[in-house]
Amino acid sequence: MTTILITGTNRGIGLEMAKQALAKGWTVYGSARGEVTDADAHICEHPKFHDLRFDVTDHAAVRAAAEAIDAPIDILINNAGIIGPERQSTLDMDFDGFAQTLAVNTLAPLAVSQAFLPQLKKSTNPRIVTVSSQMGRMSYAKSDRIAYRASKAAVNKVMQGLATDLAPMGIAVALVHPGWVRTDMGGAGADIDATESASGILALAEGLTLEGTGRFYNWDGSPSEW
């Protein structure tokens, strides 16, 4: 039976992925920071849910959480993310906020992937899926929310490189655009709900093989432009 680790399972797409993975009978390691809230309380009580509490930017805490786990992990989903600071235009940038956006959206997915590599290596079918965004596509010249866009463009490059480096170890790595999703981040007017996005991402992760490694997909499994 599949074991999955998902970051950011206390709300949004991550919470929905955790619920759906538990409904499939999978073992779920879910990470969140802070206290258990009403929204995630019911998954935390599930016997197959392992509650990991860390901030993804705290690399020492991430490594400590990983070192406490002896079991194989088949799928890692790097989902936790932030939209970034209020002021994030090229002409008026909150640089601390930009750095924090890069820390969460770009550096943390690599740090989490590195920390949990020993558990992924214990799996017979290890896969990493990082939730990116079409807002990071190089083919878009739009400049609003440039810190967020840059952080997602950068994580695409980082994960493409990780895919190259992990292929000889039999670990597949992919990126996914989750759609424009009705969550705190996506807002109420977005296109799809978290249920649809989460089920697409889980299906993509389930079917990911080394043949499809190093690619950028949409939540419905179709290829995404870089």
Contacting residues toward ligand NDP, per CB under 6 A: 8, 10-14, 32-34, 55-57, 79-82, 104, 131, 133, 178, 180-181, 183-186, 190
C-beta of 127: minimal distance to ligand NDP in Å?
17
In the bound state with ligand NDP, the residue whose beta carbon lies nearer, of 123 and 208, is 208
Which residue shows structure tokens 């490694």? 213
Is the Cβ–Cβ distance between 74 and 128 less than 8 Å? no
C-beta of 144: minimal distance to ligand NDP in Å?
14
Is the Cβ–Cβ distance between 6 and 78 less than 8 Å? no
C-beta of 80: minimal distance to ligand NDP in Å?
4
- DSSP code string of 89-113: ETTEE-HHHHHHHHIIIIIHHHHHH
Calpha distance 184→106 (Å, rounded): 20
- Encode 34-58: b = buried (16+ Cβ within 10 Å), e = exposed: eeeeeebeebbebeebbbbebbbbe
C-beta of 187: minimal distance to ligand NDP in Å?
8
The two beta strands, 88-89 and 92-93, are antiparallel
In the bound state with ligand NDP, the residue whose beta carbon lies nearer, of 28 and 123, is 28
In the bound state with ligand NDP, the residue whose beta carbon lies nearer, of 11 and 63, is 11
In the bound state with ligand NDP, the residue whose beta carbon lies nearer, of 56 and 208, is 56
C-beta of 184: minimal distance to ligand NDP in Å?
4
16 φ/ψ angles, rounded to the nearest 5 degrees: -65, -40
